[in-house]
Structure 1
Amino acid sequence: MLGTIRQFFESQLFSTEQESDQDRVCRLQLASAALMFELLKTDRHIDDRETHKLKEILTDRFQLPARQLQEIIELAEAESAAAVSLYEFTSLVNEHYDYDEKVQLIRHLWELAMADDDLDKYEEQMIRRTADLIYVSHSDFIKTKLAVRDARATEN
């Protein structure tokens, strides 16, 4: 079963010369979701609030039906577990996202990290490393962190 999932994920994550626009979008969604799931695992405790926030972000960002959303989450979880480094995902982001989309991804990572009201130092390190790998400036890294923090403060 895991081999089948892995084959499907690899066929979705890695491009071919005949790749359609829909295939490219799917690969980017999977890479983004995998980065988000990787962040959830960072503090070794996945809180229900974090899982809910992940689904909310993926629903809003990708406008997927519930069945596809669940499939992407399961595939992202499987790929995240098998990934050796963040490079597998960030290379796709670098290849296809413009700068504003990269900043938005960092914002989503901050939203996930803060969803359980406990910003773990390892979560912050992972977001910093991701920002570095996708060439988001330090000032935008900090601005998105503060914006998410301030938005959460006004919600509570």
Structure 2
Amino acid sequence: MSESIFDRITAFLGSKSAVQKVADDPVLTAELLLLLHVALADGKTEKSEYAAILRIASTDFGISPDEFSEVAEYLKDFGYETSSEQAALAFADVPFERKVMLLRHLLAIANADDDLDPKEANLIRRTADLLGVTPEELHKSH
């Protein structure tokens, strides 16, 4: 059975500090920035949205909740001038399945508070357009 991309990412990230893992991986940095951007798109961050970010960071990227505050500080310092569009462009050369996973993560965070704000929906829609993923492809089982 072949390893999933997330198994390989987790194995690669295993020996470095969380901040170093993020700093060394532009696509991971871009994804985490986008996750934070969607959580902040409506002007407020609900606890449920932050919990969703922590869960995704932990389960998919091996960043523990205890380490995430340091990662968030790094992202704040590093990405304060990075727009959502610029972050999405980091995904230009990644496999299609990885693009779909990013969009599903964004949807999970936007829906975590049971209130999909129009600003969150717009950010996800623009990101999907930049990545070349249609709504049908996003909702199809892969």
> TM-score by structure 2 length?
0.74
Give the structure 2 partner of residue 37 of structure 1: 36
Residue 132 of structure 2 aligns to a residue whose secondary structure is coil
Contact 2:54–2:64 (CA under 8 A) maintained in structure 1: no
Contact 1:102–1:134 (CA under 8 A) maintained in structure 2: yes
> TM-score by structure 1 length?
0.68
Distance 1:105 1:67, change over 3 A: same
CA distance in 1, matches of 2:113, 2:79: 20
CA distance in 1, matches of 2:120, 2:91: 19
Structure 1 residue 60 and structure 2 residue 43: aligned? no
Give the structure 1 partner of residue 89 of structure 2: 91
Residue 92 of structure 2 aligns to a residue whose secondary structure is helix
Q: Which runs of 5+ in 1 are unaligned?
A: 1-7, 13-22, 148-156
Q: Offset at 1:75?
A: 2.4
Among candidates 108, 122, 126, match of residue 125 of structure 1: 122
Residue 91 of structure 2 aligns to a residue whose secondary structure is helix
Q: Which runs of 5+ in 2 are unaligned?
A: 1-18
Total equivalences in the alignment: 121
Q: Offset at 1:115?
A: 0.4
Letter in 2 for 1:43: D
CA distance in 2, matches of 1:90, 1:39: 12
Query: What is the identity percentage for the equivalent residue pairs of Structure 1 and Structure 2?
Result: 27
Indicate the RMSD between aligned Cα atoms, in angstroms: 2.3
